């Protein structure tokens, strides 16, 4: 499920969106132990990559004028 | 140590599902709700693999049909009693959140505009430049609001992250009933066509990560 295994910008974007959700969203209960996330820096690096990638997305869109629907990573 | 993947409104039948570090994921009752957890001898290592494993477990649980609140990565408890106490302390809030997300998926949207600086380039002189920047900022705000409003009518709930800036015009998540996902996607395509200068990056459907209460919401 790494970008290497599923090449393509849509998958990369979906993977970054997934990582953003898992690390930054979701239930946190009071009184729990929050384990430290060693790779947290990677996410912010990743989101910058996402923003940088959008010019490529735009070129893709300009190419055939068709709207792109992104599939989520980690599904089936 | 007990590691939390999600909170559900009812027990679900799970196929054998490997969790973090290949520990078995199981569901247990906690104060009338169901928690999906795995047991660990020591703190599980939160590597890139853990991120994907956590996401896969949440995805499998969300396919099982119950209303689900995904946990953030890294939420763990010393033992089951500590987990039960934490759930009991926020039972009402969690139940209400489960009711809200029932039957819905999350759709993410980031909207990117052309480079902001480009539009103010023609201005000469400091005052004119500042006025141009201000007009531009107001225009961006209104545009983001209009896009958000159009999509919000298709959603049961929505969140908008305030950090939008630079090329990022809108960073939002929408809680969309399963039956309404196609209509939502059509609305996105419509907005894409009426705003060809913008890039709409739409992802999903996701489990409702953005609509699960975080600790800060606790009283």
Beta-strand relationship, B68-70 and B75-77? unpaired
User: pLDDT (tens digit, 0 to 9) for every residue of chain A, 76 residues total?
Assistant: 333 444 567 777 778 888 888 888 889 887 677 777 665 555 555 565 555 555 555 554 444 333 334 333 333 3
Write out chain B residues lying below 8 Å of A35, CB-based: 43-44, 46, 74-76
**Nearest Cα to A74, choosing from A13, A20, A14, A24?**
A14
Tell me the backbone φ, ψ of residue B68, rounded to 5 degrees: -135, 140
- For the segment B40-52, the average pLDDT, to the nearest whole number, is 87
- For the segment B70-92, the average pLDDT, to the nearest whole number, is 94
Q: Give the tens place of pLDDT for each residue, B98-137.
A: 999 999 999 999 998 876 555 555 556 778 888 888 888 8
Q: Do A58 and B189 lie within an 8 Å CB cutoff?
A: no
Any chain B CB within 8 A of the CB of A64? no
Any chain A CB within 8 A of the CB of B64? no
Token digits of residue B48: 């890139």
- pLDDT attached to residue A53: 57
For residue A21, give the nearest of B90, B167, B206 by CB distance: B206
State if pTM tops 0.90: no
- Residue A22 three-state SS: helix
CA distances from B209 to A50, A65, B119, B140 (A): 19, 32, 36, 27
Write out chain B residues lying below 8 Å of A24, CB-based: 72
Interface subset of B 122-181, CB within 8 angstroms of A? 166-168
Closest CA of chain B from A67, distance in Å: 7
């Amino acid at each position: 499920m790494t970008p290497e295994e599923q090449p393509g910008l849509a998958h990369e974007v979906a993977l970054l969106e997934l990582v953003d959700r898992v690390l930054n969203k979701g239930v946190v209960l009071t009184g729990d132990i929050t384990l430290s996330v060693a790779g947290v820096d990677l996410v912010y690096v990743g989101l910058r990559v996402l923003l940088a990638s959008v010019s490529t997305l735009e070129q893709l869109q300009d190419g055939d004028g068709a709207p792109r629907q992104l599939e989520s990573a980690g599904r089936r | 140590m007990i590691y939390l993947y999600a909170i559900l409104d009812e027990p679900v039948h799970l196929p054998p599902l490997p969790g973090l570090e290949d520990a078995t994921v199981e569901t247990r009752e906690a104060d009338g709700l169901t928690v999906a957890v795995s047991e660990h001898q020591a703190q599980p290592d939160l590597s890139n693999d853990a991120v994907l494993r956590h996401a896969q477990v949440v995805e499998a649980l969300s396919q099982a049909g119950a209303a689900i609140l995904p946990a953030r990565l890294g939420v763990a408890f010393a033992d089951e009693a500590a987990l039960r106490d934490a759930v009991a302390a926020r039972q009402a809030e969690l139940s209400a959140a489960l009711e809200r997300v029932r039957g819905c998926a999350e759709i993410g949207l980031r909207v990117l505009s052309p480079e902001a600086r480009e539009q103010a380039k023609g201005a000469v002189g400091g005052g004119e430049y500042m006025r141009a920047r201000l007009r531009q900022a107001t225009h961006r705000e209104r545009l983001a609001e209009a896009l958000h409003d159009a999509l919000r009518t298709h959603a049961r709930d929505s969140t908008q992250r305030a950090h939008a800036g630079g090329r990022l015009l809108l960073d939002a998540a929408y809680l969309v009933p399963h039956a309404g996902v196609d209509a939502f996607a059509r609305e996105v395509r419509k907005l894409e066509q009426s705003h060809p200068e913008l890039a709409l990056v739409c992802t999903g459907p996701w489990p409702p990560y953005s609509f699960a209460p975080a600790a800060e919401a606790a009283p």
